Amino acid sequence: MKIALAQQNYHIGNFESNINKIIQGIEEAKQQGADIVVFSELSICGYPPRDFLEFNDFINKCYDGIERIKQHADTIAVIVGSPARNPIREGKDLFNAAFFLNGQQVKAEIHKTCLPTYDVFDENRYFEPAYEWQTIEFKGKRIALTVCEDIWNLGDNPIYRICPMDILMAQQPDVMINISASPFDYTHDEDRKAIVKANVQKYKIPMFYCNAVGSQTEIVFDGASLVFDKDANLCAKLPMFKEAVETITLNDNGTIDAPIIETADRIADHELNPPALDEFLNIAQIHDALVTGIRDYFKKMGFTKAILGSSGGIDSAVTLALACEALGNGNVRAVLMPSPYSTDHSVNDAVQLSNNLNNPYDIIRINEIYETFLATLKPIFGDLPFSLAEENTQSRTRGNLLMAISNKFGYILLNTSNKSELATGYGTLYGDMAGGLGVLGDCYKLQVYTLAQYINRHKEIIPENIIYKAPSAELRPNQKDSDSLPDYSVLDKILYQYIERRMGPVEIKAMGFDAAVVDRTLKLVNTNEYKRNQFCPIIRVSPKAFGVGRRVPIVGKYLS
């Protein structure tokens, strides 16, 4: 039996585009001689549809899509993902379903059992878990068809009471097929291989795993669909961050007619959970995810041009380089806005960067605007000493100018704040925290430096002076980030333990970090949730990003 995996980039709610893309994938699979073509989870409507699922019209369009697609399931079987109505009055109104189409009919409808409701997932809000489990017979083989999370309920601490494959094994399936919308993070490629390997080793049958690709606002899907033989060897892997249709032959004896890429003994047995921040870990994947996130956000929103504030610092430099790669150099406008406290070398570095990238840039000095603000506020500020108010006025002036240009010419403003700054509140609301998309908001400062080195891997794009000078907001004379924050080599490692690994202060101090620095850092994180709550969407690249995947109270008192 020849099984094609079609990892495609869908657009949530864009039914015409999604359905046409699926039909095109069916035709390509037919040309490859496939017996079955497999598409990813909720492929008809795109993942995650969230509260669109509450609209009856949205669900009707999903069913209309199935009607159109099944007409092409004539000489080939098609597996597509879509919400399905629950005919039973009790429980949620919908299932997260996989439809098996053949002979221009719906031959089977398989419902997802394990509904993730953690991190970026909220499926229990919308879907009812499956209450019956059946294999699908096709061309002499029994197929155990599951949906995404259904294969992840293994290990010594399962979070669901039912494991669908345990039930399906009583029906003696010959192959497992899993359709997924499994988001990227820089640990997840290894995680997926480990979990598929664990399933194959437990059930002793091969698995075909089809994942989505492309970005949906903050969530990036990396594809990397997999095929494992019955001995848990990796026999096929589709590319990361690219659409692809690939057909692999499943032999009658359960072997895979494809060369082994990676043997079972070389694949990790457990999910990757780095015990400490490793700023070099999968940096190429992070780079590709960020480029994908920028490109898809603009394409799916119908925008083509970006704008950002270019300060001569590392964050804006990396953001500018990523945006130019995603959108084209001519479509990214950098605006340099030196204040009375900006150094000449920062302006020169920013100019050199734009010259290296060949992107348009402007220089708008804000001295006069800033002085006008101070003169206007003088009757109220009186003779009070210079403080954060004056620093933030500079930042908000820049934000105002960027938004004015954005409005005038139809740009999307890219925010350049990194995760270390967002964690500690080191940013100005309505100033340098303004923007339509947070490019680096899930990258710690140490990772931003590593990204800069990766961007320069072939030639110098980001001037070395930007990479090696001490970071500064340049909002007062001789200012350095280290005046307000612990050194990033310490700060980022503490933040990682608290945010990604959810370690408490006692555990973090036991790792050897200074107790006062730990207490101060965790207090900064928790007291600045109000800022992050007003921030733009962040491209997610880590296992725990700020935004929809991390929900903590604004007015909580814990560690604050």
Give the pair of three-digit tokens for residue 168.
Answer: 């399906």
Decide: residue 84, CB within 10 A, 0-12 exposed, 13-18 middle, 19+ buried.
Answer: buried
With contact defined as beta carbons under 8 Å apart, do 163 and 237 qualify?
Answer: no
Give the pair of three-digit tokens for residue 411.
Answer: 């740009």
- Known binding residue 315? Answer is yes
Strands 136-138 and 306-309: unpaired
Give the pair of three-digit tokens for residue 18.
Answer: 């999604």
Q: CA quadruple 274, 276, 282, 285: dihedral positive or negative?
A: positive
Distance of alpha carbon 208 from alpha carbon 213, whole angstroms: 16
Distance of alpha carbon 283 from alpha carbon 259, whole angstroms: 28
CB-CB neighbours of 551 under 10 Å: 10
- Which of 45, 62, 114, 148 is catalytic? The answer is 148
Distance of alpha carbon 486 from alpha carbon 426, whole angstroms: 12
- Known binding residue 416? Answer is yes
Distance of alpha carbon 492 from alpha carbon 8, whole angstroms: 35
Q: CA quadruple 260, 261, 267, 273: dihedral positive or negative?
A: negative
Distance of alpha carbon 279 from alpha carbon 464, whole angstroms: 19
- Known binding residue 392? Answer is yes
- Which of 21, 41, 210, 218 is catalytic? The answer is 41
Beta-carbon contacts of residue 125 (< 8 Å; ≥ 6 apart)? 117
- Known binding residue 118? Answer is yes
Between the alpha carbon of residue 413 and those of residues 11, 298, 308, 365, 394, the distances in Å are 22, 11, 6, 19, 18
With contact defined as beta carbons under 8 Å apart, do 32 and 247 qualify?
Answer: yes
- Known binding residue 182? Answer is yes
- DSSP of 58-85: HHHHHHHHHHHHHTT-SSSEEEEEEEEE
Q: What are phi and psi of 26, to 5 degrees?
A: -60, -45
- Known binding residue 313? Answer is yes
- Known binding residue 91? Answer is no
- Known binding residue 314? Answer is yes
Distance of alpha carbon 14 from alpha carbon 11, whole angstroms: 5
Number of alpha helices (DSSP H) and beta strands (DSSP E) in the chain: 16, 19
Residue 148: active-site member? yes
- Known binding residue 330? Answer is no
Residue among 215, 206, 270, 273 at smallest CA distance from 233 = 206
- Known binding residue 312? Answer is yes
**Three-state SS string across 314-340, please?**
HHHHHHHHHHHHHHCHHHEEEEECCCC
How far out from the chain centre does Cα 262 lie?
26
- Known binding residue 310? Answer is yes
The packing angle between helices 314-327 and 445-455, to 10°, is: 50
**Three-state SS string across 334-364, please?**
EEECCCCCCCHHHHHHHHHHHHHHCCCEEEC
CB-CB neighbours of 13 under 10 Å: 14
- Which of 61, 70, 112, 300 is catalytic? The answer is 112
- DSSP of 415-460: E---HHHHHHT-S-TTTTT--SEESSTTS-HHHHHHHHHHHTSSS-
Residue 536: active-site member? no
Residue 523: active-site member? no
Active site residues: 41, 112, 148
Where is the binding site for L-glutamine, in residues?
118, 182
Q: List binding-site positions for deamido-NAD(+).
A: 392, 421, 531
Q: Which residues are annotated as a binding site for ATP?
A: 309-316, 416
Binding-site residues, in ranges, read 118, 182, 309-316, 392, 416, 421, 531
